[in-house]
Amino acid sequence: MGKAGSKVLRQTSVDGVPAQPTPAVAAPTATVKFEGLTKTTRMKVKWTQLGLVFFLILSLVMTGCFFWQYQLPKVLPDEGTGRNAKSEMMCPRFPEPVQLEHPIPSLKEALEKVDVLLRQSINPISLPALSAIVILNDTVLWTGNFGKRNASDPLSGPPNEYTIYRIASLSKIFPTLMLYRLWEDGKIGSLDDPLEKYVDNFTIKNPLGKTGEVQIRSSSVTLRRMASQLSGLPRRLRATNLLWKGKTQSAINLLQDDVLVADPGTKCHYSNLAFSLLAHVMAERVAGIDYQRWITDNILDRLGMEDTGFDITPGLQTQMAVGVYSNGKPAPLYDLGWYRPSGQMFSTAADLAKLSMMLLGAYHRKLLEPDSLKIMLTPLFRCDKDYFANRTGTPWEVNELMGYEMVRKDGDLDGYSATFSLVPRLKLGLVVLMAGSRLQNQDVVSKAYTSIIPAIEKAFREAKRVLFPPPNPEPYVGFFTYSNITFYEIKVGADGVLIMQQFGPQIEELIPEKYRTIKLNYLVDRVFRVVFEKEYPCVLRVGSASVSLEAQDGQLFNFYTFDKRGLSPGFDAPGLNTYNVVRIAHRPSFSS
């Protein structure tokens, strides 16, 4: 068992997972371009309706102004009959992460569910030990350790956060971090450089690259694609298994008569070869130092990942959870040789928590610039239905969960399984390390998130928001209008924070006051951010018009420089393509 090389890295995350039915992915919602819309709006909307315009006219949901290329039969799910049946969608849909004051009862409850879930996934034969850790921004929310560290020892205790597990394909995170670091350091010119820029004689056949003409040279196996399962490189070097102990030059020689399985950049195809080749080439040809040495010096030491590495020494084994096959037999600790960058590493829950915090941009020790982190956490490509993830990133697999992007890396190697996952938008992370084989019939990581995410959202929604008043409110206080169509009053609230209220004919009867009143959070000189303090309907329907409140939440107001009297003469809301909201001397009176 596990002797044949092909068995060694049985990433379930790879070909093992049955093809999942992929529902048609939401087409990018027709984001309406508002260029020049104002005019049309004013022409088409009856004057009587203008009073309904909440805030900024541009957020009126307009359909009449566009010529659609195709006339499709309209599906009207909630017109008429279903109107009341459908509960109104409340916003903000994605609450912003804020500092939380723990303990939070609903969060505790959710974590108790996760505890039960993971405890129940322990199986004394096939999955004797499991350690998990939940990270929120710069803190560890919870850690759970279940089962026994050594199933064949009756006296063995449970694992803990410092118990060592093999992390298998989670190792692929590290060549990617190296790529970004070398790029930040200028040693790699571009993430999109072709591999052959750094290796003499790298060629591989790319018959799918150009129809009709067989290209011998490949020019589009780029570094980024190699780290994103998009290079088209085969899974492994031909005639090798994952225990192959060759040299990088031999690998390059073997590739000269090999063939890309897909034209680079066109198809998700899982490749251990791509990550190993990338790692060795960067180390030997760019950094000029052994790959493991580089990772140890530049990442592990820097982040204080003390119990993470490549070489499993006898001393280390006493700290390890004993990995087993599904029949309970201890699995040998295979050494992956040239493929080490793709799957050799071991780590602990505590160490991977540090890595999570770093990737969430919240760890006190820095590794990558914030901008590189943004690039790293952005998905790159939508995969075919038969791939095991919806999208691929660098180096992640990306799926959608409760409306959030979840980036993850799974690893499955003889005796061990592991998942490293992040929900960047919520600053949330979950790491699960297992000695044994993961449950086949359910994904405990996604399941755990379905408890944690709603609890975190609720906590963020209910957290007291800290809003800042301007140093001096006077320049901003007063009455404003947008083209004599909409009118606003800005006042100072009890806490010094500015309040803005819309007024005018009809609006006062039609729109509840709480949705006509917003707070302005002072950010920097003359710039404020719109804040809806409480939950609000994403779309406010008034008669036949609808107004997107969601589009207004979080917008920036940029006030003009102060005049001789020390007053700001007006402001812009560039995010709504709205300019020249100007000050008026006093409250206008409306006739009729």
Ligand X SMILES: *[C@@H]1O[C@H](CO)[C@@H](O)[C@H](O)[C@H]1NC(C)=O
Q: Tell whether residue 440 is a contact of ligand X (CB under 6 A).
A: no
H, E, C per residue of 316-347: HHCCECCCECCCCCECCCCCCHHHHHHHCCEE
Question: At closest approach, how far in Å is the CB of 315 from ligand X?
Answer: 11
The answer to whether the CB of 461 falls within 8 A of the CB of 535 is: yes
The stretch among 63-71, 92-100, 337-345, 552-560 that binds ligand X (CB under 6 A) is 92-100
CB atoms within 10 A of CB 541: 12
Spell out, one character per residue from 158 to 197, where the chain touches ligand X: x when CB under 6 A holds, - when not.
----------------------------------------
Q: Tell whether residue 200 is a contact of ligand X (CB under 6 A).
A: yes
Spell out, one character per residue from 497 to 536, where the chain touches ligand X: x when CB under 6 A holds, - when not.
----------------------------------------
Question: At closest approach, how far in Å is the CB of 161 from ligand X?
Answer: 18
* Nearest alpha-carbon partner for 489 in 591, 587, 589: 587
Q: Tell whether residue 483 is a contact of ligand X (CB under 6 A).
A: yes
Question: At closest approach, how far in Å is the CB of 97 from ligand X?
Answer: 4
Q: Which residues between 307 and 326 bind ligand X (CB under 6 A)?
A: 317, 322
Question: At closest approach, how far in Å is the CB of 324 from ligand X?
Answer: 11
* Nearest alpha-carbon partner for 405 in 384, 438, 382: 382
Rounded Cα distance between 489 and 373, Å, is 41
The answer to whether the CB of 418 falls within 8 A of the CB of 346 is: no
The stretch among 34-42, 63-71, 146-154, 186-194 that binds ligand X (CB under 6 A) is 146-154
The stretch among 16-24, 55-63, 267-275, 308-316 that binds ligand X (CB under 6 A) is 16-24
Rounded Cα distance between 488 and 108, Å, is 43
Residue closer to ligand X by CB (options 190, 256) is 256
The stretch among 18-26, 114-122, 341-349, 512-520 that binds ligand X (CB under 6 A) is 18-26
- For residue 498, give the H/E element and its range: strand 498-503
Q: Tell whether residue 344 is a contact of ligand X (CB under 6 A).
A: no
For the chain, the straight-line distance linking the first and the last C-alpha, in angstroms and rounded, comes to 87
Rounded Cα distance between 56 and 107, Å, is 37
**Total number of residues shown for the chain:** 592
The stretch among 68-76, 150-158, 294-302, 487-495 that binds ligand X (CB under 6 A) is 150-158
- Encoded tokens for 315: 């001393």
The stretch among 91-99, 112-120, 169-177, 372-380 that binds ligand X (CB under 6 A) is 91-99
Which residue from 1, 3, 16, 20 is in contact with ligand X, where contact means CB under 6 A? 20
Q: Tell whether residue 400 is a contact of ligand X (CB under 6 A).
A: yes
The answer to whether the CB of 62 falls within 8 A of the CB of 52 is: no
The answer to whether the CB of 348 falls within 8 A of the CB of 356 is: no
Rounded Cα distance between 346 and 320, Å, is 9
CB atoms within 10 A of CB 485: 17
Buried/exposed code over 218-248 (b: 16+ C-beta within 10 A; e: otherwise)? bebbbbbbbbbbbbbbbbbbeebbbbbeeeb
CB atoms within 10 A of CB 261: 15
The answer to whether the CB of 130 falls within 8 A of the CB of 435 is: yes
Question: At closest approach, how far in Å is the CB of 322 from ligand X?
Answer: 5
Q: Tell whether residue 98 is a contact of ligand X (CB under 6 A).
A: yes
Residue closer to ligand X by CB (options 218, 390) is 390
Spell out, one character per residue from 126 to 145, where the chain touches ligand X: x when CB under 6 A holds, - when not.
-----------xx-------
Residue closer to ligand X by CB (options 373, 540) is 373
CB atoms within 10 A of CB 542: 16
Report how many residues bind ligand X under the rule CB under 6 A: 23
Question: At closest approach, how far in Å is the CB of 362 from ligand X?
Answer: 4
Rounded Cα distance between 98 and 103, Å, is 15
The stretch among 20-28, 64-72, 534-542, 544-552 that binds ligand X (CB under 6 A) is 20-28
Rounded Cα distance between 218 and 263, Å, is 9
Which residue from 12, 22, 501, 517 is in contact with ligand X, where contact means CB under 6 A? 22
Which residue from 4, 18, 23, 509 is in contact with ligand X, where contact means CB under 6 A? 23
Q: Tell whether residue 99 is a contact of ligand X (CB under 6 A).
A: yes
Rounded Cα distance between 160 and 143, Å, is 9
Question: At closest approach, how far in Å is the CB of 586 from ligand X?
Answer: 12
Residue closer to ligand X by CB (options 367, 549) is 367
CB atoms within 10 A of CB 156: 16
Residue closer to ligand X by CB (options 248, 417) is 248
One-letter amino acid for residue 587 of the chain: R
Residue ranges in contact with ligand X by CB under 6 A = 20, 22-23, 25, 97-99, 137-138, 150, 152-153, 200-201, 317, 322, 362, 389-390, 399-400, 483-484
